[in-house]
């Protein structure tokens, strides 16, 4: 039974080199699709929200660093809220 060449007839792995070609092609195609999806996710930053500061955050930071006086801060804060 084990010595019979008919035993491996339907198997793509033992049927010869060309019978493995569809498997190899499918693996390469899957790798290309996975790499494309990974590229899109990393390029457009889909899963991470924007880390940019808002105008009010920037204004508060400048006030905390002493670049603005209290009056300037309050006036600009009112302008931004309206």
pTM of the model: 0.40
Is 79 in the same domain as 57?
yes
* Contact residues for 61 (Cβ-Cβ < 8 A; gap 6+): 53
What is d(CA 54, CA 70) in angstroms, rounded to the nearest whole number?
19
pLDDT in tens, 32-63: 999 999 888 888 766 666 666 688 989 999 99
What is d(CA 2, CA 55) in angstroms, rounded to the nearest whole number?
76
Is 32 in the same domain as 59?
no
Is 62 in the same domain as 81?
yes
Is 40 in the same domain as 57?
no
Is 40 in the same domain as 56?
no
Domain range for residue 26? Answer: 5-44
Is 58 in the same domain as 38?
no
| Assigned token pair, 75 | 């006036």
Is 31 in the same domain as 61?
no
What is d(CA 8, CA 10) in angstroms, rounded to the nearest whole number?
6
Question: Total structural domains in the chain?
Answer: 2
pLDDT in tens, 1-29: 455 555 555 555 555 555 666 778 889 99
């Amino acid at each position: 039974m084990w010595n019979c060449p008919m035993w491996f007839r339907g198997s793509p792995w033992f049927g010869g080199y060309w019978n493995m070609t569809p498997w190899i092609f499918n693996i390469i195609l899957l790798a290309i699709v996975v790499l494309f999806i990974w590229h899109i996710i990393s390029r457009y930053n889909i899963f991470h929200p924007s880390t940019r500061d808002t105008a009010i955050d920037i204004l508060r930071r400048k006030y905390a660093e002493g670049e603005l006086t209290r009056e300037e801060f309050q006036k600009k804060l009112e302008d931004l809220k309206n």
